[in-house]
Chains A and B, each alone.
Chain A
Amino acid sequence: MKYVSSRALVALFFLCTLAGTCRGAMDYDQLFRQSSDLMAQGDLDGALTLLKQVPAPAPGEDAGPFVSSRMQAARILASQEETDKALAACQEVLRLFPDNSEARNFVAALKDQLRPKWHTVLADTLRFLPALGRGAMMTLLLVLCTMLVSPLGGLLIALGRISTLRPVSGLCWFIIWFFRGTPLLLQLFFIYYGLPSLGITLSPMTAAVIGLGLNYSAYLGEIIRGAIQSIDHGQMEAAKAIGMSYGQAMRRVIIPQTYKRLMPPVGNEFIALIKDTALVSTIAMVELMRAADQLFNTYFNITALVLAAMIYLVLTTIFTFIFEKIEYRAGIYEQR
């Protein structure tokens, strides 16, 4: 019995030692292989469960499998956007091996992801601003040209509309009817792509100013006509009574009184104009919208679009303030 038991004990010891050592060595290899297989099959959770089974090494023991398992787990977790758990996995390694460079780099990268992205946004902004600025200048140029052209066109159309000469008022009615009744985009296409077939080729800028100018002249024409007709008829009579001609009465008496009434609706139109210039991007003109679109398509970076929106807002805000100032100045004579 004593003999048996001692032999059995020895056998058991060897068995256990053997099994222990063999099982340990075999276990890690097999475990990593299994977890790789599971990952390949897409079972990330299964792979994680396996990796977590690798115990912390005893002092003096080989740390390789433990570190590998935890870092692999951290990578899986990070890919699942479980940043906190990924960090915890790295911390397990760092608690035992504070100098492990792989874990430290990974933690740094994770923390970088967690941090607000303002510095990347800032970098993008600085990268995009020159192109957007050039685009904004084109937009501004286009807006200013149209603002110069369309009130004059609008005034002519308005005076034509109230003219007693039928052909003149008919023509002006037709212009308003056509340019208010068709999409601005279509008008721009016609001027830029359609006119060359009639032998007229225009640069994008010229085509844009003509298209926007005509369209906004039609709208402003109706606004100006309304403002002129809203002036008390007695003003025209008083002007005529001192011997003024119709033209003198319009220029000296009637039209100056329309300025204050014109500013709110005209301001509206011009704010709309600033945004409508974006349509010009469709006729090969690189203005703000087109510049932003190009950046967006090149870098696939939404920052370009956000910046464009902000620049449009800045432009509209500036013009809003200018229009309010003009309106105040135009009506200063009404103050008692």
Chain B
Amino acid sequence: MNSASQPLLTLENITKRFKDLTAVNGINLEVSPGEKLVIIGPSGSGKSTLLRSINLLEEIDEGTIRFEGREVGYVMRHGKRHADRPQAISALRAEIGMVFQHFHLFPHMTVLGNVMEGPLTVQCKPADEARSIADGMLAKVGLSDKRDVFPATLSGGQKQRVAIARALAMHPKMMLFDEPTSALDPELVGEVFDAIHTLADEGMTMIIVTHHMGFARELADRVIFMDGGNFLAEGTPEELFSKGQDNERIRSFLNRLL
């Protein structure tokens, strides 16, 4: 793997403004292949916006995104930044899986239909092949028995596992999790966490935005604390969660959560 030398994802000076509010303020970040990065921080700190910017669901105002070394998402025309062609943007999204807080399963498709939709429609694979891929992904998240039901009949935890399988069916090179357990009842968090853990053990590169500190501590190679659109602190879980944390802002945030 020559990629060990090269970061999978590089963010340079990413800035996103909503009218007067600067949600993401000049962020620089490198994510190596296989790395598990967890971003924590209070609500409104820009974590989700940063994640959505990576997937080009938010159009950034400044900065550069590199995926596998090449610049993606934006082109310069007449000295001005423009969003890249829709096909190029879709192609990048197909390589980066995303899991949302509120699942966003397609309610009019069965569980199997949801998972095979990407391979079928985006990758134009034959239905048989798409179905066998989907069955494999459903088996991985432990929901093979639910393949023919509609999402409305599932619990929150099951829905989120289907959403993970749907993203995995595209064989992404990287996964983005945007508060994957925040909309779940506490007793359902475990099953989703387990699914993500399995994925991590397989070496998937992932960025997880979460409020679950236990999750972060157990899974992360690196934890970033974000506030006001900036990275306030960065380090291994041990460093960041240690009692000797000198940053007052982080200490009070962690104390409130723990």
Residues of A within 8 A of B (CB): 232, 234-235, 237-246, 248, 252-253, 256-257, 333-336
Contacts and interface: CB of A to CB of B under 8 A. Distances in A.
B179 to A, nearest CB: 13
Contacts of B95: 243
Given A242-B170, A333-B152, A336-B152, A257 B107 contact: yes
Given A240-B90, A245-B86, A335-B150, 17 more contacts: A234-B100, A234-B102, A238-B106, A240-B57, A241-B93, A242-B93, A242-B94, A242-B166, A243-B90, A243-B95, A243-B170, A244-B118, A244-B122, A246-B86, A333-B107, A334-B150, A336-B152
Interface of B: 55, 57, 86-87, 90-91, 93-95, 97-98, 100, 102, 104-109, 117-118, 121-123, 150, 152-153, 163, 166-167, 170
A245 B122 CA distance: 8
A232 B94 contact: no
A246 B102 CA distance: 21
B87 A245 contact: yes
Nearest to A237: B57
A302 to B, nearest CB: 50
B122 A242 contact: yes
B42 to A, nearest CB: 23
B107 A334 contact: yes
A234 B104 contact: yes
A5 to B, nearest CB: 124
Contacts of B152: 333-336
Contacts of B170: 242-243
Cβ-closest 6 pairs across A and B: A243-B94, A238-B104, A242-B118, A234-B104, A241-B98, A243-B122
A48 B95 CA distance: 105
A235 B106 contact: yes
A332 to B, nearest CB: 8
Contact of A257 (B57, B102, B108): B108
A240 B117 CA distance: 12
B108 A243 contact: no
28 contacts: A232-B104, A234-B102, A235-B104, A237-B100, A237-B104, A238-B100, A240-B57, A241-B55, A241-B93, A241-B100, A241-B167, A242-B97, A242-B170, A243-B91, A244-B118, A245-B87, A248-B121, A252-B117, A253-B117, A257-B106, A257-B108, A333-B107, A333-B109, A333-B150, A335-B150, A335-B152, A336-B152, A336-B153
Q: Which of A239, A253, A333, A334 has the most CB of B within 10 A?
A: A333
A234 B86 CA distance: 19
Contacts of A245: 86-87, 90
Contacts of B93: 240-243
B104 A244 contact: no
Contacts of A253: 106, 117
A244 B108 CA distance: 17
Contacts of A242: 93-94, 97, 117-118, 122, 166-167, 170
Nearest to B56: A240
A32 B152 CA distance: 93
A244 B97 CA distance: 12
Contacts of A234: 100, 102, 104
Contacts of B97: 241-242
